[in-house]
Structure 1
């Protein structure tokens, strides 16, 4: 028995990649040169995680314009005036809006998995956007000749292909990003939107076998963008019962940034069922202070007082840089926090008398210097 530890997804882009993104936007960098920079950024991101002792890695979402919109980048039937997401510090993010049918994925995350696996022998985790988030693209006023029902049919097909492609490409686990879950309760306190979200996600998940769903998970957090959140003030107890209705094998739950983690853990324990694993957040990506391994250890031990060790894992609360323009956390800080997560989880596992997955040596071991 071991306590696994996994990343959530995004890691701040490398300085070289940020410069290349700006140069490409201004027309000063061609596609071939940009692709070369992307490849280096992915390889460096994966190699650095390996050097820290990670046993599961991601590509850090170096290739994604954002964790939400990667499937629709380049679509010709979108406008910019979609749903507005307000954050606590006053800044906003706005989703696109579908202007006509049909809805089609332009990009599938399978490509990210295949590229990442070229860089490592370690298991590769892939985050995908939940279909519930993309359902927000359909306008409330409707679209002539393209009903919401038609849209949801096309969305479900696209989401299934996105997940299945990643599994077939050899992803260790596919994680549905479900940050809109907690936000939905802020927009609709009745919980009906949340229930609709879960039903839509399960409509896609039911297309997979039980063994495939064991390699699928759902991540929830109150948002984490530019060092701010959009729904931390929503009570977790209102979200978790619906969240755990997802028919997946893994749940990744923000916890380090919660004001009362013990209360949340008791709610999680009430929702726990056999055959699932709960990865609790032990790192707060929007806190500039780097956690110590001992702080992480204590967070894991606190969780183990409520949750069986055989159903427990650890993760970061959320991604470190979900949008390409989010530079609020440095790359060096993110990797320092990842190191603390891994070392602290290992300390807790040792104290609990259970294992921690051993890091691989050889070609995946690299020095962690000069990551900023």
Structure 2
């Protein structure tokens, strides 16, 4: 498309990207401004960067947003982009909707603490995520893209949660989760709950990685729908004006009498995920400054979730495996969105330990847990990270958490004996089925793993679960709901032999 003298349409929103190119933050600013627009909304992008002449039309084709026209006067360019197709534009003037993360929020409320049921001996539980029905995934996309009101989204999610909890109860678990039905993934969902944070598609991040072509090829090989999987981006100081997951606990407790567990992304995971030098440094001077706000947000959430009656609050930190197993320093990978820099294992592990302890300080230790695995975005074992807990166990032992819920069934996790170095006053959750395998494990094999764990740690310390969740990403479940239920049932049958 050649430039024209004047746009035939007036934009609904305009911003100036200056000399930013698509690899240095322009795409993130485009996403910030275009996502709140309704379908057919027009965004004007001002730019003085010559490379945008080719890169922006390519981005429009990839994201199926229409480049309506562009003008050029000297170095100054003006691009008019329609969200979706221009044919979808209504005749009435369009007013941009407020971004979801900036929408009026429910004020943080003081609540009377709810007594939480105790965590039983040899408790059987899922790690967190449960396969979302196709209708739930479609509803989630409509909500994230601003096509569905929040109330309608939660009404549909309530139904999905009821089904997920019913399946877990039928399997015979002792502790339930809500299956993370309201989340697009186990971690990035926080961008829809925090102020000044927004979800952006992974496709917008391709220019930011070291080797975009290799990264894109990796996503294709892993069946990751990069246009649908989204990543949190920080555009200003983080504010928690409504709960991240306490509302999930509130609803789950209305449909089950069993203890409820809820998972939160850990502070190191969120810091590594959210710190992108080209955009988050506009709000924070360093990733350490960003981490301080993440710790504050998680402490606020932990307090409310415990008061809401959660028996166990689990912090997910799978990127710890990326730190020690991914290889070369500063290697970037898809692993849990770990796209930002890494300063080497010793530094990163110490940083992660300190962040976790800062979040946990002063809270009842017996109601907190830490989950670590080696990647759970595909059922293909060959592409996930591999290595024993040997380089991690010393750091894990220094985290003042009440339970460790660890991947242990897969051979990639090494020997269980290494976990004897964990604190004697902490409970040890061991994965005894592998969610990546389509076949349901034999009851004798599951019982043998349980017996081995009891021999190592004592029955009073052992908790039982799969290696990881059944559907890390809403659009990429590891297995079907029926298989997930059968695998939990296999754990419950194995545990029954020791009761």
- SS of 1:217's partner is strand
How has the CA–CA distance of structure 1 residues 199 and 91 changed in structure 2, closer, same or farther, with 3 Å as cutoff?
farther
Deviation at 1:260, TM superposition (A): 6.7
Q: Which has the bigger relative contact order, CA under 8 A and spacing at least 6?
A: 1
Deviation at 1:244, TM superposition (A): 2.0
1:7 aligned to which of 116, 119, 126: 126
2:394 aligned to which of 227, 236, 241: 241
Q: Does residue 197 in structure 1 map to residue 352 in structure 2?
A: yes
List runs of 5+ in structure 2 lacking aligned partners: 1-119, 330-343
In 1, Cα distance between the equivalents of 2:431 and 2:190?
27
- The structure with the largest alpha-carbon Rg is 2
How has the CA–CA distance of structure 1 residues 179 and 228 changed in structure 2, closer, same or farther, with 3 Å as cutoff?
farther
- SS of 2:457's partner is coil
Which residue of 1 is the match for residue 239 of structure 2?
A: 104
In 1, Cα distance between the equivalents of 2:454 and 2:144?
48
Which residue of 2 is the match for residue 267 of structure 1?
A: 418
Q: Following superposition of structure 1 onto structure 2, how do residues 259-338 of structure 1 map, counting pairs within 5 Å?
A: 259=412, 261=414, 264-269=415-420, 271-338=421-488
How has the CA–CA distance of structure 1 residues 27 and 161 changed in structure 2, closer, same or farther, with 3 Å as cutoff?
closer
How has the CA–CA distance of structure 1 residues 102 and 83 changed in structure 2, closer, same or farther, with 3 Å as cutoff?
farther
How has the CA–CA distance of structure 1 residues 10 and 96 changed in structure 2, closer, same or farther, with 3 Å as cutoff?
closer
List runs of 5+ in structure 1 lacking aligned partners: 350-354, 356-372
In 1, Cα distance between the equivalents of 2:141 and 2:232?
25
Deviation at 1:293, TM superposition (A): 2.0
Deviation at 1:19, TM superposition (A): 4.5
**Across the two proteins, how many residue pairs are aligned to each other?**
343
Which residue of 2 is the match for residue 147 of structure 1?
A: 285
Q: Does residue 44 in structure 1 map to residue 163 in structure 2?
A: yes
Instruction: Report the more deviating stretch, 196-205 or 149-158.
Output: 149-158
Q: Following superposition of structure 1 onto structure 2, how do residues 8-23 of structure 1 map, counting pairs within 5 Å?
A: 8-21=127-140
Q: Does residue 124 in structure 1 map to residue 260 in structure 2?
A: yes
Conservation of the 8 A alpha-carbon contact between 1:281 and 1:315: yes
Could you say what the CA RMSD is over the residues aligned between the two structures, in angstroms? 2.8
Deviation at 1:256, TM superposition (A): 0.6
In 1, Cα distance between the equivalents of 2:296 and 2:312?
20
In 2, Cα distance between the equivalents of 1:272 and 1:10?
26
How has the CA–CA distance of structure 1 residues 311 and 145 changed in structure 2, closer, same or farther, with 3 Å as cutoff?
closer
In 2, Cα distance between the equivalents of 1:223 and 1:114?
29
How has the CA–CA distance of structure 1 residues 88 and 275 changed in structure 2, closer, same or farther, with 3 Å as cutoff?
farther
Conservation of the 8 A alpha-carbon contact between 1:278 and 1:313: yes
| TM superposition score normalised by structure 2 | 0.63
How has the CA–CA distance of structure 1 residues 238 and 169 changed in structure 2, closer, same or farther, with 3 Å as cutoff?
same
Deviation at 1:144, TM superposition (A): 4.4
Q: For 1:213-243, what per-residue CA distance to the aligned partner results, in whole angstroms no more than 9, with x for missing partners?
A: 2100000000111314665323421112212
Which residue of 1 is the match for residue 404 of structure 2?
A: 251
In 2, Cα distance between the equivalents of 1:320 and 1:201?
25
How has the CA–CA distance of structure 1 residues 260 and 34 changed in structure 2, closer, same or farther, with 3 Å as cutoff?
closer
Which residue of 1 is the match for residue 27 of structure 2?
A: none
- SS of 1:3's partner is coil
Which residue of 2 is the match for residue 217 of structure 1?
A: 369
1:35 aligned to which of 132, 149, 154: 154
Conservation of the 8 A alpha-carbon contact between 2:396 and 2:422: no
Q: For 1:170-190, what per-residue CA distance to the aligned partner results, in whole angstroms no more than 9, with x for missing partners?
A: 001000011111111126464
